[in-house]
């Protein structure tokens, strides 16, 4: 059995609480920072009533609403009802105009027509829709987030020798005999500017324009 099949089978075996924990972690990996899991019991893989299941505060003051389901049938009908609740200010306490995006997570499949119909329901309110079904989730876990596959599904993707930067730093920093890799570099702004200027001068002299652009990021 391929790893993708293993991941997909494991996803379909998750209960609602475990799936929501995985989905929230997945969203965080994708740049959604301020995760507020209304429909998840803190400290346990259990669900509770909440609309939406998770909301995310954005820097611009607006929100992302996320709804999750592990149902294997009538997914479209389930999400139609979820969207109605998300757009009901009496249930959420949030005006519709403050919702920037809705994210739908599920472990089944939707047809193109069903996804389009759900997108149109959101567009009526000027809201973006992002849908993650079992296909995109499983391939992302396999290709990009093996740590999530191991932690939430118990599936080893590789030997663990190659990790995403954030996971590598976290694993490295667990040692008590090494200096943390994410230590801040303070009070050296002038030196950083000096280094950047010298690098720019050297790069200009090397005439690298025909070979693409080289970018240097220094984390302060």
pLDDT at res. 160: 55
pLDDT at res. 40: 87
CA distances from 185 to 24, 90, 218, 219 (A): 31, 48, 9, 8
User: Is 3-161 assigned to CATH 3.40.91?
Assistant: yes
Q: Which helix (H) or strand (E) holds 16?
A: helix 16-29
pLDDT at res. 215: 47
pLDDT at res. 177: 67
Domain boundaries, the chain: 3-161
pLDDT at res. 220: 43
Q: What is the Cα–Cα distance from 25 to 101, expressed in whole angstroms?
A: 18
pTM of the model as a whole: 0.70
pLDDT at res. 159: 55
| Strands 99-106 and 54-57, bridge-based pairing | unpaired
SS3 156: coil
pLDDT at res. 162: 57
C-beta atoms surrounding 203 within 10 Å: 14
CB-based contact 69:17 (threshold 8 Å)? no
Burial of 150 (0-12, 13-18, 19+ CB in 10 A): middle
CA dihedral 70, 76, 81, 84 (to 10 degrees): 120
pLDDT at res. 167: 67
**Which positions of the chain have pLDDT values less than 70?**
1, 158-164, 167, 171-172, 176-177, 185, 203-220
C-alpha 108 chain-centroid distance? 19
pLDDT tens-digit series, residues 82-107 = 999 999 999 999 999 999 999 999 99
């Amino acid at each position: 059995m391929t790893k993708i099949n293993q991941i997909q089978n494991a996803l379909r075996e998750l209960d609602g609480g475990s799936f929501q924990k995985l989905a929230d972690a997945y969203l965080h990996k994708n740049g959604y920072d301020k995760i507020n899991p209304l429909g998840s019991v803190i400290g346990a893989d259990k669900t509770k009533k909440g609309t939406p299941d998770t909301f995310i505060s954005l820097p611009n003051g607006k929100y992302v609403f996320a709804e999750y389901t592990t149902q294997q049938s009538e997914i479209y009908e389930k999400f139609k009802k979820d969207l109605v609740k998300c757009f009901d200010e009496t249930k959420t306490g949030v005006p519709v105009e403050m919702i920037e995006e809705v994210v739908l997570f599920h472990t089944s499949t939707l047809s193109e027509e069903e996804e389009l119909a759900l997108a149109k329901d959101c567009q009526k309110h000027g809201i973006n829709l992002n849908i993650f079904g079992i296909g995109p989730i499983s391939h992302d876990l396999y290709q990009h987030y093996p740590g999530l596959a191991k932690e939430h599904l118990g599936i080893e993707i590789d030997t663990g020798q190659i990790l995403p930067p954030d996971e590598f730093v976290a694993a490295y920093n667990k040692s008590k005999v090494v200096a943390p890799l994410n230590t801040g570099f303070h009070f050296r702004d002038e030196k950083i500017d000096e280094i950047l200027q010298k690098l720019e001068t050297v790069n200009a002299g090397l005439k690298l324009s025909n070979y693409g652009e080289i970018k240097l990021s220094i984390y302060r």
